[in-house]
Amino acid sequence: MYQNIKVLKSTRWLVSFIFLCFSFLVQSQIERVEPPNWWVGFEQDTLQLLVKGKAIGTYVPSIQKEGIRLIRATRADSPNYLFLDLLIARDAEPGTFDIEFKPKRGRTYSFSYELKQREQKPEDFKGFDSSDVVYLITPDRFANGTPENDAVKGLLETAVERSEDYGRHGGDIQGIIDHLDYIDSMGFTAVWSCPLLINDMPRSSYHGYAITDFYRVDPRFGSLEEYVELSNKAADRGIKLIMDQVANHCGNKHWWMEDLPFSDWLNFQEDYEQGLPLKTSNHKRTVNQDGYAAEYDRTLMSGGWFVSAMPDLNQRNPFMAKYIIQNSIWWVETLQLGGIRQDTYPYPDKDFMALWARDIMREYPNFNIVGEEWSDNPLLVGYWQDGAKNKDGYRSYLPSTMDFPIQTTFAEAFKESEKEWGKGLVKLYNALANDFYYTNPSSIMLFGDNHDMDRIHTQMGEEVALTRMAMAFVLTTPRIPQVYYGTEILMQNTDKPGDHGLIRTDFPGGWEGDTVNAFTGEGLTEAQRQMQDFMRKLLNFRKTSSAIHAGNTKHFAPHDGVYVLFRYDADQTVMLILNKNEAPTTLDLTRYAEMDINNKTFTNVVTGASRTLGTVLQLDGKGPIVLVHQKR
């Protein structure tokens, strides 16, 4: 009997060993299936799988699973790809199912694929809006929570050197998680991190915009599990997570660059494959709207590579288009996102971008997406917002875009003399007046600076009063405000204007041994502490201000170096005063009689002091004042 048991155990071991060997053979045959999993219950009931494996295009796939039907298998130009279109029934059950791949001769291989149950209803995905303030982080430069992952063996760039502006510094996802309490206490309600997906590039891989695998977190930032943890722990604090995505390009070390699926997977792919000089974009973004634009310029704008290290993806290829759309949805669902920021929005094929935004917003009706259109022309920015009455009939389906037009006026508005006609604050007044053109001004994102431009404190000549005025305007106007990390402590790049490495400098206190710690306040200068306190009080007031979230707006033309703007609703009136006068100034309040502020008690949001307004208000010096009157 004992011998029989030993034989039985030996047989079971042999069967298990054979099964493991067979499983390994299957996995080695199939290098990747993307998306790596999916969910039941989407509006769109089809799913397209990219299958990559040696000679997989010569295999015949099949699926035997109730509720799942293989409706099409498409061979690519490369024999190492198959694209499978699946129809997922409305009542399909979550779980795993096998996809079988049968060769012309030999063994049939099987791959197990998973459909998951969605964690929340589509309408419960709440996108960021004008009640939020977005904190923009360059993750490599924010905080190093896990020094052990600073260098990862096998990647092309392994050096970590904080003294190098364009090198890796070691910041990571855990660093953000570790300081969510700080972000929350400051009053931010959303976090936008520059891309956290892998950039396995030989240099300058820290910034994240040269992605080499759209489904893999960069191990130097952490793991997918940590990314999910960041989202969950942020949500526990009421903080939304915004993902920075890139539909226009990838890095030239992307895994598919050695074996492209189709001959038109990239723009100007033939030149690339023949080793010819690469055609880069002319960056003439106006061709998207310009009825006079030459086809040559249109093609070069959307088809030219952004830079030579970033291959331009051809979204006119339907498989590429589907790949990008599904990738975006996969990340929304995996991370339970509160929004997407789409990089270089005018550069991809604009018809594809409308399809991309439409498909995402159809699945998540209360979601939000902001697109980057770096233009100081409001006509170009407004063109991309959904609902715009464009002459060419184009509908973008994009809820939000970025307010570069107002941002570019800050330096002139705050630094120019008020004594010359048409100079100074009137430029800011006129810029805000352009809101008549926008479909939904309060859904546009406004900011003082970001990861691609000089920091606002540098733009303001390191004059604290001007920096405060710029940020007070950002936080009170009818917009979705975005604040770049470090603005709250007057971080600047004055020594190297335009230097991206310095613009994305390390946040003090994010690394062990830092002598200055902005998270705790240790070592900050008095000016930095006061700015941080100013921002904290204004941000936390804004969290519950109904007038700023969704109230009406009225502003009065600047006069004698003072610009006054009101946000108001039935419950509250907020009064923003921007004063450029160095000497004490008397503000005549009778100009604002229509706002019914006379004999009303207003409280200074920053100092907490209250006073009943009369006909004049004494302004002690240059800077912003934010006052609030609670009606009920």
**Residues catalogued as catalytic:** 343, 372
Q: Are 322 and 330 in contact (CB under 8 A)?
A: no
Fill in the DSSP letter of residue 336: T
**Cα–Cα distance measured from residue 406 to residue 416, given in angstroms and rounded to the nearest whole number:** 15
> In the numeric block, which tokens belong to residue 99?
């996809």
Pairing of strands 60-63, 95-102: antiparallel
Go through the chain and tell me how many residues it has.
632
**53, two tokens:** 């494996």
User: Measured between alpha carbons, how far is residue 114 from residues 39, 65, 76, 96 in Å?
Assistant: 8, 12, 24, 4
DSSP string, 113-148: EEEEPPSS-GGG-PPP-TT--EEEE-GGGT--S-GG
Contacts of 183 (CB under 8 A, 6+ apart): 135, 191, 239
How is the beta sheet containing 60-63 ordered, strand by strand?
38-39, 109-116, 95-102, 60-63
**CA atoms of 256 and 75, how far apart (whole Å):** 16
Q: Angle CA(318)–CA(321)–CA(322) in degrees, nearest 5?
A: 90
Cross-strand bridge partners of residue 95 = 115
- 12, containing H or E segment: helix 2-29
Q: DSSP H helical segments within 86-237, as ranges?
A: 173-178, 180-186, 224-236
User: Of 401, 294, 319, whose CA–CA distance to 357 is shortest?
Assistant: 401
Q: Which distant-in-sequence residues (6+ apart) come within 8 Å of 355 by Cβ?
A: 321, 325
How far apart are alpha carbons 199 and 218 in whole angstroms?
7
How are beta strands 339-342 and 240-245 bridged, if at all? parallel
Q: DSSP secondary-structure letter at 273?
A: H
DSSP-derived 3-state class of residue 619:
strand
Q: What does the alpha-carbon distance between residue 141 and residue 478 come to, in Å, rounded to a whole number? A: 30
